[in-house]
Amino acid sequence: MARMMPFRSLPERAARAGLIGFCALVFAFLLLPILVIIPLSFNAGSYLFFPLSGFSLRWYREVFSSPEWTAALQNSLIVATATAIVSTLLGSVAALGLMRLTPRMSAPLVALLLSPLFVPVIVTAVAVYFLYAQLGLDGSYAGLILAHTTLAVPFVIVVVRAALQGFDTVMLRAGASLGARPPVVFARVLLPLIAPAIAAGAVFAFMTSFDETVVALFVAGPDHRTLPLQMFEGVRDQISPAITAVATLLVLASAVFLSFVEGLRRVREKKFNS
């Protein structure tokens, strides 16, 4: 038997079509400025203009053969990986601690831990710069990683805490009642269920650090210039189509990371629903 489609009146269908059209316009407004970068990265000419003067991979070859670009990419990978590891550990532990507090006690702590999300980045950058000037951490990997960790930890807390809100603590008590010690209960009951959320938080922390520019502009030294800083310097000194090649690679990397996060979300839903 053919599946019956729900009947919709003409005004309902018109409202639905209007909503879909509005959403399509919003997505086009948000995505077209980003997608227009992709064809520009294959331009054979030395200037950014349409129509393209030809198809070429010269700017990608320039990026991967340039010592400045490769050093910046290496610095970004080192800083972002270290930031993701430290932020994931701190954010996950903080989220687990907040789970055991009452709402009245956890509310001010949540506001304090998530404050880097609401404070303007320039304020954080200036404050970190003056603090590091006193501690001697400016212009170092450690200083940049700690500064990025401050910005990335709130994302881990939000993701892991959201996963813990749907967790049934009866399962922990059941494991304890069967004689399992707290570390065993955590490793075999709690951790497998929230592992997708922890991994998603690590991805967000990595992306936060990898894409950060303002704090790095104040804290990073000449030998620790990250990829966003290198792009900023390229735009300020001389606009080169090589920047479009790097931007295209970053867009593709962001799409891969977001797809990975969506996959983790579906895995988490299956675990909680099973």
What is the tens place of the pLDDT at every residue in 178-195?
676 767 777 777 777 788
Please count the other Cβ atoms lying within 10 Å of the Cβ belonging to residue 230: 22
DSSP-derived letter for residue 139 is T
If you compute the radius of gyration of the chain from its CA atoms, what whole number of angstroms results?
A: 23
For the residues 239-264, what does the mean pLDDT come to?
A: 80
**How far is residue 142 from each of residues 85, 132, 139, measured CA to CA in Å?**
13, 11, 9
Angle in degrees, 0-180, between the axes of helices 103-113 and 67-99, rounded to the nearest 10: 170
By the 8 A CB rule, do 240 and 58 touch? no
pLDDT in tens, 261-274: 777 777 666 665 66
pLDDT in tens, 106-148: 788 888 888 888 888 888 888 888 888 888 888 788 889 999 9
- 28 vs 15: CA distance, rounded Å: 20
The pLDDT assigned to 18 comes to 82
For the residues 18-42, what does the mean pLDDT come to?
A: 83
